[in-house]
Amino acid sequence: MIYFDNSATTYVNEEVMQTIIEVTKSINANPSSIHELGNRAASLMHQSRMQIASLLNVTPEEIYFTSGGTEGDNWAVKGTAIEKKAYGNHIITTTIEHPAVNESIRQLEQFGFDVTYLPVDKNGVISIDDLKKAIRKDTILVSVMAVNNEVGSIQPINEVGEVLKEYPSIHFHVDAVQAIGKVPFLLGSNSRIDIAVFSSHKFHGPKGTGFIYLKKGRKIAPLLNGGGQENRMRSGTENVAGIAATGKALRLVLTDAISKQEKQKNIRDYLISELSGYKKVVIFSTEAGAPHILCFALKGIRGEVLLHAFESESIYISTTSACSSKNKRNSTTLSAMHVPDSIAVDAVRVSLSDTNTMQEAKQFLSIFKILYKKFQSIHA
Ligand SMILES: Cc1ncc(COP(=O)(O)O)c(C=O)c1O
């Protein structure tokens, strides 16, 4: 079996799994309970918060646990809108955000917010000039993802931050779900990022857990009201085992991150160079993109057909993004990159993790060679 669908989700690391089992078995109390067992749960959560903060070079008070990327993005966007409504009505985002951001912003449009969608070039990257032109007096939020989940394009987050240094009242939100462990991603006092969103299952942690970074001094309104957990910012009994597992998964993914990224990049570049030798293959990802994502199309063969053909050989890939694939929506990123729909429907995504090997890439390519011939003979 070859698993090449790591942008949809990753397997849970064995050590991380042990943490989930041990914590679930031995620390079953509610961290809000004031007895000894509750204290143990709260203290474990505190340790994880400190661990995550130190790995990201921020303070523990700036980390808030969530149920994952979708919640984090909804919170960043709507929490900013509610908090800053009195100061302005304008939001800037891109045409290639994940639906967790895009749909949240579309909902705000229904409530009267005005939105500028920054276009991308043919490589799926926004332009800083467009951003500069879009900023207005009433802009309250700029939301730009770090790494696109469909084609892997890396957005110029540091440059956006530089521009926003001149507009200190604007919240800068970055969806970092596909970036962490894959590309250099800096938070902390020199970074202009106010809110960054993370999801554990994208870095070998469990599903349904994640966290946001919210810069000290920045305010967003809570979306989940209730018992006042997470410093009254995000109510709901915490997933203690998931939180402990998240800390461990983050530590593991960031250990030797550079060499892991290089390994993935070598595999991805090899796949690009081999696939580009086929006349009917169109490649949408570039070598400048994140090392783990390769989006391409075999012209004339729908993405889901190619996906299932690989599946019958026990190779798992996806049609662009996992959420859109079941909804049968065309890729928003490819359409923003002006890829015609007739080609976008043929797109598939290969996404790697640090455990994939060159051997697997070679096996993938040898199956591709067979499938290519087969599809050509059918269409001849
Ligand atoms: C860029 C990006 N943002 C947000 C999400 C949503 O994360 P989650 O699955 O944890 O809700 C994903 C998941 O695919 C993603 O790729």
Which residue stretches of the chain have pLDDT < 70?
Answer: 321-330, 379-380
Q: What is the C-alpha radius of gyration for the chain, rounded to an integer number of angstroms?
A: 21
Exposure string for 297-307, b = 16+ CB within 10 A, e = fewer:
bbeebebbbbb
CB 128 within 8 A of CB 163: yes
Structure tokens at 47: 């340790």
What domains lie within the chain, and their CATH numbers? Answer: 2-9+257-379 (3.90.1150.10), 14-254 (3.40.640.10)
295 catalytically annotated: no
What was the pLDDT predicted at 245?
98
Ligand 1 centroid, distance to 202 Cα (angstroms): 8
What was the pLDDT predicted at 188?
83
In tens, the pLDDT along 8-45 reads: 999 999 999 999 999 999 998 999 999 999 999 999 99
What was the pLDDT predicted at 377?
84
Q: Residues 6 or more apart from 69 whose CB is under 8 A from it?
A: 98, 100, 175, 177, 197, 198, 199, 202, 210
| Closest atom of ligand 1 relative to the 68 alpha carbon | 10
| Substitution candidate for ligand 1 out of 7, 12, 103, 177 with most atoms within 8 A of CB | 177
CA 136 to each of CA 131, 132, 140, 170, 195: distance values in angstroms, whole numbers, following the listed order: 10, 9, 9, 10, 20
Distance CA 156, CA 282 (A): 25
CB 187 within 8 A of CB 56: yes
Ligand 1 centroid, distance to 96 Cα (angstroms): 13
- Between vectors from CA 176 to CA 125 and to CA 292, what angle results, nearest 5°? 70
What was the pLDDT predicted at 323?
54
Ligand 1 centroid, distance to 366 Cα (angstroms): 31
Local structure of 171: helix, strand or coil: strand
Protein residues whose CB sits closer than 6 Å to any atom of ligand 1: 68-70, 73, 98, 100, 145, 149, 175, 177-178, 199, 210
Distance CA 350, CA 168 (A): 39
Ligand 1 centroid, distance to 181 Cα (angstroms): 15
| Closest atom of ligand 1 relative to the 322 alpha carbon | 14
Local structure of 123: helix, strand or coil: coil
Looking at residue 309, its amino acid is: A
pTM, entire model:
0.97
What was the pLDDT predicted at 320?
77
What was the pLDDT predicted at 376?
87
